Structure 1
Amino acid sequence: MTATDKDPNWTLIYTAIVANALVLAALGYALLAERQPTAYWAVPLVWITVGVWALLRVSPPPAARRTKALAGAVAGGYFLVLGFVGGLFGPASGPTTGLLIQATELPPGWNPAVLYAGEYLQFAIIPYTAFGYGVLAYLIYVTAVEAKHAVAGGLLGLFSCVSCTLPVIAALVGGVVGGGGAVAQAAIEFQSYAISTAVFVVTVGLLSYRPGLGQFRRWLS
């Protein structure tokens, strides 16, 4: 049983609509804010467009309730790992600044950003990364449901696959470092975000097409 692949033509049409809307939003922001678009403006566009394509293309196959529950737990844990190493949240490491919502400092996708730095906890919810990590977690869920044995007793195998660990490694190397300076830092560290974007695109492709999953199931059985 493989995951349900939806009509590729409609998937591409809807994805193109989303991409066009994002481009128009960025151009509108540039006009209203009198800002000159730069390369890092394209990062959220790529993440969101590719993520929407994956969500439209892939849906999980029918499965038992226990399998779905365990797959959901795996996906939730994976999201927490990505969120932690990618700087969405973590222990406080700087001055306490409280809650800050930025809506106009950077273009759509980077903003609106929700930032918080407390005494013990900090988080930096940047829309495109939060959405992207959610998409990856969903694809892990679909993969886990399809693999079945990976959920029942092979979690180590699932988390050791290259496509699953690539985003974690990329986030460790060049992710957002939480806290109040996260959005400002993003503007000057484009190279690390370009690498993370490339890893995200490759990972989404691998998890969407799931090459070799049949062999993976046989290996676990």
Structure 2
Amino acid sequence: MATASALPRPSRASLLRAAFAVNTTLILAFVYLLFTEASVGAPRYAVYGVAWVIVGLWVLFDTDVAPASTATKRKAAAVAVGYFALLAVAGGLVTSPVPGGASGVRVAFLPPGWGPALVYGGDLFNLVLMPARVVGYAALAFLVYDTVVKAAGAAVSGVVGLFSCVSCSWPVLASVATSVFGGGTAVAATVTTLSYDLSTLVFLVTVLLLRWRPGFGTS
């Protein structure tokens, strides 16, 4: 059956890379908690942040892109860069500056995975670079690149992943729209309680869709 090959058994090499991602992320999280003022906070939020990083690293290290022409690679790269840029804006990595907002660069010691976050406030834009979002969005963009290169029907599955992932960011956008940095920091305006749960669920589902592309005849 065509569906039987949609979720192939992972190879030993793939499992080793997954184990490497898990071990590396957990060690870094432990060192981060040990040597900074960060705390775990609500346990599930720390689990979510670590999960984003683990899955993102696994995707980046375990995805083999098929050989393709230079033109195809350029097209795929353009799509992937645009996709990452859209996620960066929709997901709150890049936001508009607010009059009177904090300026300069600082590090926010959020729970593992979400922190340490590099926060920049400027006259043209603000940045909130949480590791989970940066690594996760990079992984999704790389999967879109791989999809465009590999599959004849890549545009279809790429669109599915695009809308699935952007939909996970609507709580973030709602938070930014309602608070407009009213909490006093870029970090406070970027995340809400609901966004952690929704974005993590949709991120994992989107990785699954873009990684194996069920129903589109790819292997």
| Structure 1 length-normalised TM | 0.77
Structure 1 counterpart of 2:166: 168
Q: What is the alpha-carbon distance in structure 2 between the residues aligned to residue 185 and residue 91 of structure 1?
A: 11
Structure 2 counterpart of 1:19: 22
CA deviations 1:128-173 (Å, max 9, x no partner) are 10111000000000001113575xxxx5x45542x33111011123
Q: Is the 8 Å Cα contact of residues 8 and 57 (structure 1) preserved in structure 2? A: no
Structure 1 counterpart of 2:12: 9
Q: What is the alpha-carbon distance in structure 2 between the residues aligned to residue 52 and residue 132 of structure 1?
A: 8
Cα 1:122–1:11 change in 2 (3 A) is same
1:46 partnered with 2:51: yes
Q: What is the alpha-carbon distance in structure 2 between the residues aligned to residue 159 and residue 107 of structure 1?
A: 31
1:111 partnered with 2:115: yes
Q: Is the 8 Å Cα contact of residues 94 and 117 (structure 1) preserved in structure 2? A: no
Task: Flag as ranges the 4+ runs of structure 1 deviating above 3 A.
Answer: 24-37, 157-160, 174-180, 182-187
Structure 2 counterpart of 1:78: 83
**C-alpha displacement of 1:184:** 4.5
Q: Is the 8 Å Cα contact of residues 93 and 129 (structure 2) preserved in structure 1? A: yes
1:62 partnered with 2:67: yes
Q: What is the alpha-carbon distance in structure 1 between the residues aligned to residue 102 and residue 172 of structure 2?
A: 24
Q: Which segment drifts farther, 130-139 or 40-49?
A: 40-49
Q: What is the alpha-carbon distance in structure 2 between the residues aligned to residue 171 and residue 165 of structure 1?
A: 10
1:142 partnered with 2:146: yes
Q: What is the alpha-carbon distance in structure 2 between the residues aligned to residue 36 and residue 74 of structure 1?
A: 36
Q: Compute the RMSD of aligned alpha carbons.
A: 3.0
The share of aligned pairs that are identical, in percent, is 34
What amino acid sits opposite 1:64 in the alignment? S
**C-alpha displacement of 1:203:** 0.7
CA deviations 1:75-114 (Å, max 9, x no partner) are 11101110111011132235342222215x2233222212
Q: Is the 8 Å Cα contact of residues 99 and 117 (structure 1) preserved in structure 2? A: yes
What amino acid sits opposite 1:92 in the alignment? P
Q: Is the 8 Å Cα contact of residues 92 and 118 (structure 1) preserved in structure 2? A: yes
What amino acid sits opposite 1:26 in the alignment? A
Q: Is the 8 Å Cα contact of residues 53 and 131 (structure 2) preserved in structure 1? A: no
SS of the aligned residue for 1:214 comes to: coil
Q: What is the alpha-carbon distance in structure 2 between the residues aligned to residue 191 and residue 48 of structure 1?
A: 19
What stretches of structure 2 of length at least 5 have no aligned partner?
1-7
Q: What is the alpha-carbon distance in structure 2 between the residues aligned to residue 36 and residue 143 of structure 1?
A: 36
Q: Write the mapping of 1:116-127 to structure 2, written as runs, cut at 5 A.
A: 116-127=120-131
Cα 1:208–1:118 change in 2 (3 A) is same
SS of the aligned residue for 1:100 comes to: strand
Q: What is the alpha-carbon distance in structure 1 between the residues aligned to residue 104 and residue 34 of structure 2?
A: 29
SS of the aligned residue for 2:128 comes to: strand
Structure 2 counterpart of 1:93: 98
What stretches of structure 1 of length at least 5 have no aligned partner?
216-221
1:203 partnered with 2:201: no
| Structure 2 length-normalised TM | 0.78
What amino acid sits opposite 2:21 in the alignment? V
Q: What is the alpha-carbon distance in structure 2 between the residues aligned to residue 59 and residue 181 of structure 1?
A: 39
**C-alpha displacement of 1:202:** 0.8
